[in-house]
Amino acid sequence: MLPEQGYIFVTRNTDAVGNSNPGHWNHAAVMSWNGWVVEAQPEPPNAVIAVPWVEFERRYPEILTIDLAEDEIHRGLIAWKAARLVGLPYATVPVFWQRGHNCVSVVRASVKQGWRAPTWRLPDDIAKAGKEISHKTEYETWIHPGDWFAGMTKDPADIFKGAKTWHD
């Protein structure tokens, strides 16, 4: 089943794939429109990208889905803000004078309201902040996908095609 737009995902790789981040969770992403998940990836593609939900879900044996929104309208706004980040460069340590993002700052930029942005630094911080919607764990049956970024796009227009936006 397709998660609702505006939901947030925190994920964990298997130890064989690599878990270099401190804490349990090592990645974060946002559910945008039309089944696209927005995330930042350091290695090629070295950018904020969008991938189809089915491919994103296939990539991780453990996914925690959380809701950080106040209501459906706020979830739509989170999805819209995330989609607008697609195509920006990756930045290990994002700072305000650069336009790059890492996985945590993608979520931060998507949920912030006005000048107030959350102070999360790690995916674990995000995981503690919201209401749990679901928690998938499939370590015993998980199979490494052949193409880690199947269906990837760096073009935000792909996400907006035919999207029912929060203001429709």
pLDDT tens digit sequence for 21-79:
778 899 999 999 899 999 999 988 999 999 999 999 999 999 999 999 989 999 999 99
Instruction: Please check the confidence at residue 166 and state whether its pLDDT lies above 50.
Output: no
User: Which pTM was predicted?
Assistant: 0.91
Inter-residue contact 104 to 38 (CB < 8 Å): no
- Break the chain into its structural domains and give their ranges: 8-160
List phi, psi (to 5°) of 81. Answer: -60, -40
- For 81-127, how does the pLDDT look when each residue is reduced to its tens digit (9 = 90+)? 999 999 999 988 776 656 789 999 999 999 987 767 788 999 999 99
